[in-house]
Amino acid sequence: MSERRLSFVGAFMSAVGPMSLYLYAPAVAEAAAGLATTSAAINLTLSSFFGGFAISLLVVGPISDAVGRRATVYLFIGAFCLASIAAWLCESVESLLVARFIQGFGAAAGMSVSRALVRDVYAGKAAARVFVTMTMVLSVAPAVAPIVGGLTTTFFGWRSVFILMFVYGIILIAVCAFFVGETIQRHWARLMPREWWASYRGVLTRRDFTAPALCVGSLVGVVYANGTLLPSILMETIGFSPLQFSVAILAHPAGYMAGSIVAKSVLARRSVKETVLYGYCAIAIGCVGMLALLVWEPGAWRILTPVGLYSFGLAFIMPTMTAVSLDRLPHMAGAAASLLGFSQMAFGFIASVAGNAASDAITAIALLMPAMALLSLVGFAGSTTAGG
């Protein structure tokens, strides 16, 4: 597959997770009312999606290494489609929690398999270019999905977003069938638990993987945490309607898209390390803006501007350090991609639960971003000493 083709197909596969989050976010208020539950309880349906996604990432990588990339997509995205129908039919928040968990479990294949595909075909700076282009295209999903989710919720009710997720899953299976060739030889022995453990042990004992994984995972964790905190902040504290929220949340994908365009140009002239440092500069400015919320009266632009700056910087770091983390593990690309995705979802799950447990969402979001950025810097420092 050419770089361009793999970038677009990989972005479409990876988008199933963010799309499921951002389509649903504008519907959470109506879902709480429709199921006669509290906003805190309905927010757990966001966290349950993260939990299912993270747990799935522990198994989907070795499975794709064993049975092939395409078969894994068919199996897991098929489960995602069935869970979408189940969520559409739910009559209680408890059943919705289960359906969202299974959705997350199935959606994980999109992230893991798309990254493994890139590593199967490309390495080094070529892989970094594919990841940059892929994430630039991927940023369209969180830009479009909230608007579509807000409009769909407004005109057809909150349940309708799950029909859209089902349709997306069916299209994804078709795209994989017609446009993705198998990139590995099947090794059925890798389905044995001892083979899983050997693969994960081989990945986790390498600092040239764990350090960049920490660098990326902690930053992406903030994005997922914001996905659970921003709906209540913007719609309850600021007073936005679901449709207004769906437009306001574009600060994240717009910042990321702009950052991806600039990062692709910078990467053509600079090293990976220099590109990453430019990203941290933008993130530092965003963190200062977030910390200012501790003393300023919260307002829409005072929240969304730091989010946009953070996303702009993230576009410099995420694709390049993803390539670094996978570069030296071509023989275990599936397991490495799964562990990389797991670290991101685990950070997102922990940060979102911690944020929702705080008594004040504004304070939580103001402190989470700089704290996780500092943790990311530790990972980046470790990756440079490990040869990344």
* Half-sphere CA count of 257, side-chain side, radius 13 A: 14
User: What was the pLDDT predicted at 183?
Assistant: 73
What percentage of residues in the chain have a pLDDT greater than 70? 95
User: What was the pLDDT predicted at 284?
Assistant: 95
- Asked whether the beta carbons of 245 and 146 are under 8 A apart, the reply is yes
48-62, 201-215, 351-365, range with the lowest pLDDT? 351-365
Tell which residue, 86, 67, 80, 143, has the closest CA to residue 109.
80
- Which amino acid, residue 73? V
The length of the chain is 388
Task: Give 4: exposed, middle or buried? Use CB within 10 Å, 0-12, 13-18, 19+.
Answer: exposed
- Check whether 74 has a pLDDT greater than 80: yes
Question: In whole angstroms, what is the distance from residue 16 CA to residue 61 CA?
Answer: 17
- Check whether 387 has a pLDDT greater than 60: no
Q: Cα dihedral angle (61, 312, 152, 34), rounded to 10 degrees?
A: 80
CA 85 to chain centre: 22
Q: 88 pLDDT band (50/70/90 cuts)?
A: very high
The dihedral sign for the CA sequence 357, 361, 362, 366: positive
- Classified as helix, coil or strand, 159 is coil
Tell which residue, 353, 284, 366, has the closest CA to residue 317.
284
Mean pLDDT of 33-40: 80
Question: In whole angstroms, what is the distance from residue 36 CA to residue 91 CA?
Answer: 10
CA 99 to chain centre: 19
Question: In whole angstroms, what is the distance from residue 222 CA to residue 307 CA?
Answer: 10
89-117 per-position pLDDT tens digit: 998 889 999 999 999 999 989 888 888 88
- Asked whether the beta carbons of 27 and 148 are under 8 A apart, the reply is no
Question: Which domains, ranges and CATH numbers included, belong to the chain?
Answer: 3-184+191-385 (1.20.1250.20)
Which of the pair, 126 or 53, is modelled with greater confidence?
Answer: 53
Question: In whole angstroms, what is the distance from residue 123 CA to residue 323 CA?
Answer: 8
User: What was the pLDDT predicted at 385?
Assistant: 67
Q: How far apart are the first and last CA of the chain?
A: 26
Residue 10 DSSP one-character state = H
- Check whether 65 has a pLDDT greater than 90: no
pTM exceeds 0.95 for this model: no
Placement of tokens 């009559």 in the chain: 91
Contacts of 374 (CB under 8 A, 6+ apart): none
Q: Cα dihedral angle (121, 124, 125, 126), rounded to 10 degrees?
A: -10
- Check whether 162 has a pLDDT greater than 90: yes
Query: What is the number of other CB atoms lying within 10 angstroms of the CB of residue 178?
Result: 7
317-373 per-position pLDDT tens digit: 988 888 887 776 666 666 777 788 788 877 877 777 777 777 778 888 888 889 999
CA-derived radius of gyration, the chain: 19
229-260 per-position pLDDT tens digit: 887 788 878 888 777 877 787 788 788 888 98
- Check whether 81 has a pLDDT greater than 90: yes
Mean pLDDT of 14-27: 85
Query: What is the number of other CB atoms lying within 10 angstroms of the CB of residue 377?
Result: 17
Query: What is the number of other CB atoms lying within 10 angstroms of the CB of residue 302?
Result: 15
Mean pLDDT of 272-294: 92
What interhelical angle do 39-67 and 207-232 show, nearest 10? 150
Question: In whole angstroms, what is the distance from residue 227 CA to residue 287 CA?
Answer: 17
Question: In whole angstroms, what is the distance from residue 153 CA to residue 137 CA?
Answer: 25
Tokens of 350: 């922990």
